[in-house]
């Protein structure tokens, strides 16, 4: 029997993290919701989810004393350390800050600012949208040709060299980034049917269980 | 790009799917988890469960259904019916639901919307509204509660504005006049609400065929289209609806 890779999900008192846990388990992980630093550090990989507002998520990370751990783990992942997956606001938190919550600092791993979505579209984007993605990146390995994923967000990360996917919502929006073992998606892989499960499986495939 | 969502709605009573015609004459249409999973395979963009059982001793049955569903389907999934507190909402979300839907409880205590939105985010708060045409309100549509049994005197548009102000992330609007009739959505009602607020609008009540669905999105400006019995009894498939949406120049996932 092969051991299921262990994934620790930052449980920092925001929103609904259960669906992320269930989807990771379905994808083949031993997934734990935890605020225990030891468990987070000892897992094969970590997931930083996030829903609601940027400011509330950043504050909740500080209140649960996980802010600096999340920052250092994300930074290490970007330099080839333990894999780290940010989801939705968990992706946005990787940046310096957000126009949504001026004055609140993000983890600052990516030196950019989250901006509001512009254009003649409903805000937030709460819908399925088609991904234009870099099929050569491991995040999208084996994924179907026309991948549709589920988004819920009113703000968006600017495009940088880390971008590996985009979607068209009034303008082109940054839908996913990757820098070494630091992966993050603006969409919700845990809510994106088969495509989402495939992305999670791809994330699990870069974990080293020990 | 605006993508229209197709949402089968499962009315659940004592752990079984039922759907009434004009809110009475319930017919049994199967196991909710099996049905949800089948819809997931057929390309449903989202699933809604409405627990229509009034008695509180059936909560356990519903919880079991929600838990089992969350283990099998990985598309957004909303649960409504009988949620009266932040704690009720927390329980449902902990079992794996993504959104909760409030109806009567929100009309009685609008603060409930903001309490839940503050705790879990607006994206998981759907405010469901049952409404029908009426001379009693300035906008011509009146809000009803308690499964459509009680008139509130509330004007639909006023209530929609208030609900969104409190933090509702979506509006699920059911036309009681059309529900179960298969005569099409109440387009005027949809238009009135979609012009009033910017949050996504889910149309419900009356769709009998693909054209009705297209009209709901094209003329009513709804962002999502919900139906129950026409899907449950196989009168219409999700992919048929999506093909028609595409023909009408709209966008749908996987069509």
User: Smallest Cα–Cα separation from B221: which of B242, B198, B238?
Assistant: B198
The answer as to whether A140 is a domain residue is yes
Query: DSSP secondary-structure letter at B234?
Result: T
> Do B96 and A126 lie within an 8 Å CB cutoff?
no
Sequential pLDDT tens for chain A (210 residues)? 468 999 999 999 887 788 899 999 999 999 999 999 999 999 999 999 998 889 999 999 999 999 999 999 999 999 999 999 999 999 999 999 999 999 999 999 999 999 999 888 888 899 999 999 999 999 999 999 889 999 999 999 999 999 999 999 999 999 999 999 999 999 999 999 999 999 999 999 999 865
pTM attached to this predicted model: 0.93
Contacts of B74 in chain A (CB under 8 A): 19, 22-23, 26, 190-194, 196-197
Residue A17 is predicted with a pLDDT of: 84
pLDDT at B20: 47
pLDDT along chain B (255 residues), means of 10: 93 79 44 86 93 73 90 93 93 91 97 93 94 96 94 98 97 96 97 94 96 98 94 88 97 88
Whether A150 sits inside 8 A of B76 (CB atoms) is: yes
Inter-chain touch A122–B93, beta carbons under 8 Å: no
Q: Answer whether A14's CB lies under 8 Å from A60's CB.
A: yes
Q: What is the CATH number of the domain that holds A147?
A: 3.40.50.880
| Interface test with chain B among A150, A172, A173, A197, by most B beta carbons within 10 Å | A150
Ramachandran region of residue B163, left (φ > 0), alpha (ψ -120 to 50) or beta? alpha
ipTM for the assembly: 0.90
Residue appearing with tokens 């909303």? B78
d(CA A98, CA A107): 11
Tell me whether strands B99-102 and B24-28 are parallel, antiparallel or unpaired. unpaired
Instruction: Please list, in sequence order, all residues whose beta carbon lies within 8 angstroms of the beta carbon of residue A66, skipping any fewer than 6 positions away.
Output: A10, A12, A35, A37, A40
Any domain includes A184: yes
**Nearest-CA distance B201 → chain A (Å):** 11
A127 close to B (CB below 8 A): yes
B-side interface with A, Cβ within 8 Å? Answer: 1-3, 5, 40, 45, 70-71, 74-76, 93-98, 119-124, 169-170, 198-200, 223, 253-254
In chain A, how many domains are there? 1
Q: Do B74 and A26 touch (CB under 8 A)?
A: yes
Q: In this structure, is residue A84 part of a structural domain?
A: yes
User: Does A1 fall in a domain?
Assistant: no
Q: Which residue has the tokens 């009540």?
A: B205
Three-state DSSP at A35 gives coil
pLDDT confidence of residue A209: 66
pLDDT tens for B15-48 read 888 764 433 333 445 788 888 888 898 899 999 9
Inspect the interface and report whether the beta carbons of A18 and B70 lie closer than 8 Å: yes
Which residue range is the domain that position A39 belongs to? 6-209
Task: Give domain status of residue A54, yes or no.
Answer: yes
| Predicted pLDDT at A18 | 86
């Amino acid at each position: 029997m092969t051991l299921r890779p262990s994934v620790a999900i930052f449980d920092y008192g925001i929103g609904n993290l259960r669906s992320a846990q269930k989807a990771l388990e379905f994808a083949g992980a031993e997934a734990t919701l935890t605020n225990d630093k030891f468990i987070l550090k000892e897992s094969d990989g970590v997931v930083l989810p996030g829903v609601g507002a940027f400011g509330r998520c950043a504050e909740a990370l500080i209140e649960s004393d996980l802010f600096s751990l999340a920052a250092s783990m994300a930074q290490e992942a970007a330099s080839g350390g333990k894999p780290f997956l940010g989801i939705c606001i968990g992706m946005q938190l990787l940046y310096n800050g957000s126009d949504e919550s001026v004055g609140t600092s993000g983890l600052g791993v990516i030196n950019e600012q989250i901006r509001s979505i512009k254009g003649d579209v409903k805000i937030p984007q709460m819908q399925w949208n088609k991904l234009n993605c870099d099929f050569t990146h491991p995040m999208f390995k084996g994924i179907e040709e026309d991948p549709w994923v589920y988004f819920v967000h009113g703000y968006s990360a600017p495009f940088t060299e880390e971008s590996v996917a985009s979607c068209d919502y009034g303008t082109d929006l940054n839908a996913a980034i990757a820098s070494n073992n630091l992966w993050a998606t603006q969409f919700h892989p845990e809510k994106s049917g088969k495509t989402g499960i495939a992305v999670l499986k791809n994330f699990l495939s870069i974990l080293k269980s020990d | 790009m605006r993508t229209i969502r197709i949402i089968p709605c499962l009315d659940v009573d004592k752990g079984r799917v039922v759907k009434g015609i004009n809110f009475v004459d319930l017919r049994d249409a199967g196991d909710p988890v099996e049905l949800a999973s089948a819809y997931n395979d057929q390309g449903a963009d989202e699933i809604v469960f409405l627990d229509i059982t009034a008695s509180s001793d059936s909560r356990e049955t519903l919880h079991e259904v929600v838990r089992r569903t969350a283990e099998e389907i990985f598309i957004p999934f909303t649960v409504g019916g009988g949620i009266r507190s932040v704690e009720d909402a927390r329980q449902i979300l902990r079992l794996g639901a993504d959104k909760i839907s409030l109806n009567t409880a929100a009309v009685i205590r609008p603060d409930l919307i903001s309490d839940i939105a503050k705790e879990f985010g607006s994206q998981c708060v759907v405010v469901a509204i049952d409404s029908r045409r009426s001379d009693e309100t300035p906008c011509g549509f009146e809000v009803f509660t308690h499964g459509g049994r009680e008139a509130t005197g509330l004007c639909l548009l006023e209530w929609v504005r208030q609900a969104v102000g409190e933090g509702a992330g979506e509006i699920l609007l059911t036309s009681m006049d059309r529900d179960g009739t298969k005569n099409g959505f109440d387009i005027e009602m949809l238009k009135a609400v979609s012009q009033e607020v910017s949050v996504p609008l889910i149309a419900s009540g009356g769709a009998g065929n693909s054209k009705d669905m297209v009209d709901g999105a094209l003329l009513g400006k709804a962002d999502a289209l919900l139906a129950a019995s026409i899907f449950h009894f196989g009168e219409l498939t999700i992919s048929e609806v999506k093909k028609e949406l595409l023909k009408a120049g709209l966008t749908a996932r996987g069509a």
